[in-house]
Amino acid sequence: MKNVNAGPKYLVKLSFEEIRLPPFDDILILGKKCPQGKIGVRKSFELLVPNEFESFEVVSDEVEIVFINKRLLKKMNKDIIIKTLEEKVFPYVLESEILKVDFKLKISYDYIEIEDRFYKP
């Protein structure tokens, strides 16, 4: 015999994690018609992470502005970063969206020749 008054059963998969604000580390790209707008996002940065990001307006059909973490700018020229984004990321950006970009940089040298100026034979 079935129990007609049995309530619903629920299956819940739950997970959570700590986040940092803003919820990205490297680069944020704003489309020309994103709802928050460049002024709103810029003000949010000033409140949440003052002096951590620099903004660059770009010439593009879809993209209006790029926010780059100053930590990256200390290691790589902004023009190289933006050129890379223009070639690899901008073609996928819709004018109404905000895109988070993880930009992991590794710097390496093949060989370094060092002259010992203190060596005296």
Q: What is the pLDDT of residues 69-117, one digit of tens each?
A: 999 999 999 999 999 999 999 999 999 999 999 999 998 888 888 887 7
For every residue of the chain, which 3-state class applies, written as one string? CCCCCCCCCCCCCCCCCCCCCCCCCCEEEEECCCCCHHHHHHHHHHHHCCCCEEEEECCCCCEEEEEEEHHHHCCCCHHHHHHHHHHHCHHHCCCCCEEEECCCCCCCCCCCCCCCCCCCC
Nearest-10 Cα torsion for 28, 78, 87, 89:
-10
CA angle, 80 then 33 then 89, to 5°: 30
Please indicate, yes or no, if residue 8 is contained in any of the structural domains.
Answer: no
Average of per-residue pLDDT across 1-28: 75
Query: What is the model's pLDDT at position 1?
Result: 56
Please indicate, yes or no, if residue 11 is contained in any of the structural domains.
Answer: no
Please indicate, yes or no, if residue 113 is contained in any of the structural domains.
Answer: no
As given in the structure block, the two tokens for residue 17 are: 């994690």
- More confident call, 11 vs 60: 60
Radius of gyration over every alpha carbon of the chain, rounded to an integer in angstroms: 24
Please indicate, yes or no, if residue 15 is contained in any of the structural domains.
Answer: no
pLDDT band at 32 (very low <50, low <70, confident <90, very high): very high
The domain in which residue 70 lies consists of 27-101
pLDDT at residue 42 greater than cutoff 70: yes
Q: How many domains does the chain have?
A: 1
